[in-house]
Amino acid sequence: APTIFRQDYVPYPYRLPRVRLEFDLAAESTRVRSELRFEPAPGTAPGTPLVLQGEDLELVEVRLDGRPLAADEYQLADDTLSLVPPGHGKPFTIGIVSLCRPAENTTLMGLYVSGDKLFTQCEAQGFRRITWFPDRPDVMARFEVLLRADPAAYPLLLSNGNLIEQAGLPDGRHQALWRDPHPKPCYLFALVAGDFDCIERTETTRSGREVLLQVYSDKGYREQTRWALDCLANALHWDERRFGLELDLDRFMVVAARDFNMGAMENKGLNIFNAAYVLADPATATDAAYRGIEAVIGHEYFHNWTGNRVTCRDWFQLSLKEGLTVFRDQEFSADMLAAGLPPAEAASARAVKRIDDVHTLRLAQFPEDAGPMAHPIRPDSYQEIGNFYTATVYEKGAEVIRMQHTLLGEDGFRAGMDEYFRRHDGQAVTCDDFVDAMESIYAQRHPGQDFSVFRRWYEQAGTPRVRVRSHYDPAARACRITLEQRCAPAGLEARQSPPPEKPPLHIPLAIGLIDADGRSMPIQWEGEARDTVVLELREASGTWTLTDIPRAPVLSLLRGFSAPVILETDRTADDLALLARRDPDPFARWDAVQETAHRHLQACIEAGRSGGPQPALDTLLEIWRAALKDERLSPAYQARLLALPALREVIDRGEPMDPQAAVAAWTRTRQALGARLADAWRAAYDALADDGGPYSPDPVSSGRRALRNLALDNLLAGQAPGAVELALAQYRQARNMTESLGALTALLQHAPQDAAGPLADFHARWRDDPLVLDRWFGAQAGAPGCTVAGVRALMALPDFSLRNPNRARAVVFRFCLDNPGNLHTPEGYDFWAEQVLALDALNPEVAARLSRAFDNWARHEPVARAGMQAALRRVLDAPGLSRNVREIVSKALA
């Protein structure tokens, strides 16, 4: 497949002020008539061909200014339709009639069928599966859309913008006309047709306008959409308060789809969501699902400004909207968690969110940055853009925005956002345009400084390592801190000779000092005493001397995770233990516990390998015991402190990666910690019992449930007497899904022989609710007792279908990502290859995601390495591979 380069960008030679689309909707075959009003862009030479993209379409006719064109008046190639427009330099109209086949469309890109409804997904390049069009984000048009369909099958006909009229037709069908007042690129087009339940409410915007918010769901699920509607209203008001951004539409719709490739899509005024991010009630959704809905509803709503009003010039700029919008949704979630709490508790609530976000980054993005798919947040090239909706573009992109927020401060960042919209509202722009706006504020406030070094975050792949050394001079009462940064070649860069230059980045490193008793030692900084200061490293190394430090300090580093880097420190186990108990920065404290656990786990793996004695657990054990008993901590925060690093992170730290050894070490450590803290866990479990009040997903009560489920998990892991009975009782008495799934999962993880009863009960109760059934499948596929034969048995059940992405994720992805002990076997490798190919025949975008599970094969120990490599080869050699999967596996094997 050809590689597309960022440097090759050329503007589209024609403008497209207006588009009219007419759909004759039917599942088997939908007829699309388009009328595209073009005009040459300034400077376009007469005779410049007009090129439109189209995929999997049947062409019926092409017209130019109303005149049907003969077959030799246009060229139809594989995926394009081109013609030479009249050379008079004036506007002209292209009319196209084409057919597409929604019912056969298993890719879920373009127009497709889900259940008995019709949905679209156009980002990034799905619109070309609907009709021929200049399918690129910098062509922005005003859309008018007429939908016609059988009212019995499709009583509701939705598209972007405002409903202009609705009417019955003489042939018994009905039609709806929608007009979107805002120009938009075609990736933001959407239509939905079908029968739905709907709840709605009106909100008054800051300027006093009434706007209608609606959430559509499958019939019978109306009551499960109330939380999503609340979240939508919260998002609307939050964006007004925090960013001064008001909804620019009279009507904002969210529609839940059962079959959806990812989380949701920000189509203008008509967001289409994976039902998993819309539907919730206490009986069916976990606390985490409630928070997930809040985050995704917020994310898509915030795109209305960061993405839709100001969009991307080309797809290399994806992080322009995604990194920024992830940052915005993270802040929204944090503000929602902290709302109404007193300051100390609010800080802890925000820290919990930060911990979860950093955990995601380390779990998904750090490995990406160390593998064959490593790319800068603004990639330089791709073969298939669908493969670049990555943790790097999204999550690392959000970290790069967050660093700008750190450097500018809340006020400065807000001023930079205002400036960005002042300059670019209504345009399709680049990441550079965003940084320019931010820099204009930064330069005002920090004379003589600019973002020229900072911009390298957009250019460089790889996770930088920052080495920290410190020296305390008691005579001078001074602490000298030296920082050194380096960034190894990332992924395929290692193959280049010479390897690419990686100049230093601008890294804000937030630090604090504590004394041996754990007290914060203020730092004299810019004329005042501060607990936390930000060292700005802009060169390969830098030294800071902090004065007036009365005693030797322990360094609390990377507070709040102020930069997406890996630290290399000379901190001892004792230093870490002190930070783990006393660091006043809740993020850094959590990180110290994690680091202690990581060091212990790697030592266990090493001991297993060398046959030496197992390392003592005492330090970690005492840190945990203290954290569990510390009544000043919120249960939500305790649940993070007391979580062992995820198995995948432990595997990823190995040099080489040794999944089986990591599973053994991780399992043994969990058992030992559970057993030795059994009394404390039991006390916590009892103390955290539900108070019997009505369920609410608020951070306090969900924190209690999280810690209680963790207690149960530890009691089962440690085989505490009575633990199984406790889990069975929790399952039976559960008053919400967080409790029932917590019990079921803990049983499946640690006492599978006792899980049969609850499993059968769960299935009987929830067999007709697809999202809940996904939980049932997922809990089993991720359990250590689920072998390849086990996962195949799940797939043989009548409830299973590879076509539904949520089900495929619950079973196949869950097994391949969260069950390393069973994946890393000869049968596991076969299974992965077979599933990648089976999925690829249906849905290349989803298959490509699964194919990424073997990215880091080359970092594994020899046996796993050989097995994974052979499986990758088998995939690469298979006939008819999609461009999506081919790009991933060919880069993995390069």
Least spacing, CB of residue 891 vs ligand B3K, in Å? 18
**403/397 Cα distance (integer angstroms):** 10
Closest CA to 488 of 566, 571, 569: 566
Q: What is the DSSP string of 761-792?
A: HHHHHHTT-HHHHHHHHHHHHTSTT--HHHHH
- Residue 124 or 644: the one with the smaller Cβ distance to ligand B3K is 124
Q: Which is nearer to Zn ion, 294 or 322 (CB)?
A: 322
Q: Using the 8-state DSSP alphabet, how is residue 224 labeled?
A: G
CA atoms within 13 A on the CB side of 569: 21
Q: Quick count: other Cβ atoms within 10 Å of Cβ 765? A: 13
Positive/negative CA dihedral, 666, 668, 674, 677:
negative
Supply the minimum distance, in Å, between the C-beta of residue 399 and ligand B3K.
16
524 three-class SS: strand
Q: Compute the distance between CA of residue 699 and CA of residue 336 in angstroms, rounded to an integer.
A: 9
Positions touching ligand B3K (CB under 6 A) are 123-124, 262, 264-266, 299-300, 303, 322, 386, 389, 845
Query: Helix 844-851 crosses helix 826-842 at what angle (to 10 degrees)?
Result: 160
Give whichever of 386 and 462 is closer to ligand B3K, judged by the CB atom.
Answer: 386
- As measured in angstroms, the least distance from the Cβ of 794 to ligand B3K is 27
Residue 555: strand pairing partners: 513
855 binds, among Zn ion, ligand B3K, none (CB under 5 to 8 A by kind): none
Q: Which is nearer to ligand B3K, 277 or 366 (CB)?
A: 277
Distance between CA atoms of residues 755 and 227, nearest Å: 31
224 vs 325, beta carbon nearer Zn ion: 325
- Cβ atoms of 826 and 867 within 8 Å: the answer is yes
Of 83 and 842, nearer to ligand B3K (C-beta) is 842
Least Å distance, CB 697 to ligand B3K, is 22
Measured from the CB of residue 353, what is the shortest distance to Zn ion in angstroms? 18
Which residues are tagged catalytic?
A: 300
- Please, which residue, 121 or 669, has the CB nearer to ligand B3K? 121
Task: Identify which range of 121-129, 161-169, 323-331, 468-476 contacts Zn ion by CB under 5 A.
Answer: 323-331
- The interface partner of residue 377, options being ligand B3K, Zn ion, none and the CB cut-off 5 to 8 Å by kind, is none
Say how many residues touch Zn ion, by CB under 5 A. 2
Question: Among positive and negative, which fits the CA dihedral 875, 880, 885, 888?
Answer: positive
> Cα torsion for 116, 121, 122, 124, to the nearest 10°?
-150
Q: For Zn ion, which is the closer residue by CB, 322 or 845?
A: 322
Q: Shortest Cβ distance from residue 126 to ligand B3K (Å)?
A: 8
The residue among 453, 353, 362 whose CA lies nearest residue 403 is 453
> How deeply is 874 buried, as exposed, middle or buried, from its count of CB atoms within 10 A (0-12, 13-18, 19+)?
middle
Q: Which does 331 bind (CB under 5 to 8 A by kind): Zn ion, ligand B3K, none?
A: none
CB 236 → Zn ion: shortest distance, Å? 17
Least Å distance, CB 326 to ligand B3K, is 8
Nearer to ligand B3K by C-beta: 859 or 883? 883
What residue 439 binds from ligand B3K, Zn ion, none (CB within 5 to 8 A, per partner kind)? none
- Select from Zn ion, ligand B3K, none the partner in contact with residue 124, using the beta carbon and a kind-dependent cut-off of 5 to 8 Å: ligand B3K
- The stretch near Zn ion (CB under 5 A) out of 63-71, 91-99, 322-330, 454-462 is 322-330
| Closest of 249, 138, 258, 143 to residue 189, by C-alpha | 143
CB of 823 to Zn ion, least distance (A): 30
Residue 501: burial class (beta carbons within 10 Å; 0-12, 13-18, 19+): exposed
Question: Could you tell me the smallest distance in angstroms from the CB atom of residue 122 to ligand B3K?
Answer: 9
DSSP 219: T
In 339-469, alpha helices (H): 343-360, 366-369, 391, 397-424, 431-445
Measured from the CB atom, is 15 or 321 closer to ligand B3K?
321
Q: Which single residue brings its beta carbon nearest to ligand B3K? A: 123
Q: b/e string for 540-552 if b means 16 or more Cβ within 10 A?
A: eebebebeebeee
Residues facing residue 470 across a β-bridge: 481
In the bound complex, what is the minimum distance in angstroms from residue 273's beta carbon to ligand B3K? 10
In the complex, the smallest distance separating the C-beta of residue 523 from ligand B3K, rounded to whole angstroms, is 39
DSSP state of 183: -
Window 456-475: contact mask with Zn ion (x via CB under 5 A) = --------------------
d(CA 802, CA 424): 43
Residues 6+ apart with CB under 8 A from 343: none
Question: The tokens 């430090």 sit on which residue?
Answer: 549
Of 325-333, 464-472, 581-589, 705-713, the segment contacting Zn ion by CB under 5 A is: 325-333
Q: Which is nearer to ligand B3K, 776 or 813 (CB)?
A: 813
Secondary structure (DSSP) of 433-497: HHHHHHHHHHHHHSTT--STTGGGGGT--S--EEEEEEEEETTTTEEEEEEEEE-PPPGGGGGSS
When CB distances are held under 5 to 8 angstroms depending on the partner's kind, the choice from Zn ion, ligand B3K, none that residue 705 binds is: none
Instruction: Tell me phi and psi for residue 467, to 5 degrees.
Output: -95, 130
By a kind-dependent CB cut-off of 5 to 8 A, residue 389 interacts, out of Zn ion, ligand B3K, none, with: ligand B3K
Closer CB to ligand B3K, residue 322 or residue 658?
322
Exposed, middle or buried, 655 (CB in 10 Å: 0-12/13-18/19+)?
Answer: exposed
What is d(CA 155, CA 195) in angstroms, rounded to the nearest whole number?
6
First to last CA, the chain: 15
Q: Are 443 and 476 in contact (CB under 8 A)?
A: no
Query: Taking contact as CB under 5 A, which single stretch among the options 202-210, 315-323, 492-500, 539-547 is the one that binds Zn ion?
Result: 315-323
Which stretches of the chain bind Zn ion, using CB under 5 A? 322, 325
